[in-house]
Structure 1
């Protein structure tokens, strides 16, 4: 029989410990980091089409080792990266130094951000929402920190593996969006929480991931009214 449901804070601590343990090797996987100039160029093209040409203040939530944050900075945006894992942030800061980029990386909770209302033009996140114990609270927070007319842009997926990831055995049932969701379902959730003009497109090209993805990958975004 399954143990009693854990509190959101207990779940977050378990998630934090998991990603701290994975931080040093996370970028070894071609799905996670950039391993060729072709892959880098492909991601720049995707992000440019979803964030626009003009300079924006972007909060990259659940930034991990800074892959998306660094690409956004390369496109000319003013980027702040937030993550709950100190280990991931250490890797991100090291890459920032190597690439000489002016990105602020700081500890933060995606569901309770230390930022003022309307502080950013956009929020981005990659493969984050499935790790959160209360996704609706996170979406409300992302809306709060994005100015009216700004955007929330998520890179997400949908998988249906036979069992939970190692390290997630005790918490996966406490994560409402564990295993991801089809884009249509996530689009409906974003609309339910006030986003407008929600659209999505597939991200299934081999170039983006280093190989053909084994499950559905996509990018989805909506406007903050």
Structure 2
């Protein structure tokens, strides 16, 4: 049985707009469900003149019911709510090519803005995923993912932020490298992942907000393309304070 792989980078990007989550509603009616919970310190919105930086901790959990084959997520789009602000251009960055070639050790230490780990299955073996979150510069987050088993695999997962208007601050687009979907012929299935990003000593407001949403809520939406050709989507809103 295969659960689909969600790159841990996506959890970090989603966390930019997910502050003090009360509940998360998985709206895909299929057997596979995703839940996302996040907390931020502090949890108040900032202002345009003074964006409020946050340290974000995000947990993604994937569960599946029934004896069915589980699709793999190939790509996706995350709509991040108005009031979120990624300020990568203000701080030390690392090029994607540098990260892919030499790993996090090849990047400036100040460009590292987070880390995480999780549980994933490679058939009956724990894959032991680890992730390092790196600032890629203006509107770009990079996740350096390492799988320990069934073979050690490392890959960069870029997440591009495209500014939007209206209710959304950004559209975040990502694609999962094939090397993280299947290793040595074995699908890698994510159970859960926990990441912490932002509010580092070198980049205190790289992940920030400039306001609290209408009704003291920030909405968000995620659309994912599956290997079956279907799209799984969910939306929710979270509380914030002014």
- TM class by shorter-chain length? under 0.3
- The structure in which a higher percent of residues are strand is 2
- Which structure dedicates a bigger proportion of its chain to helix? 1
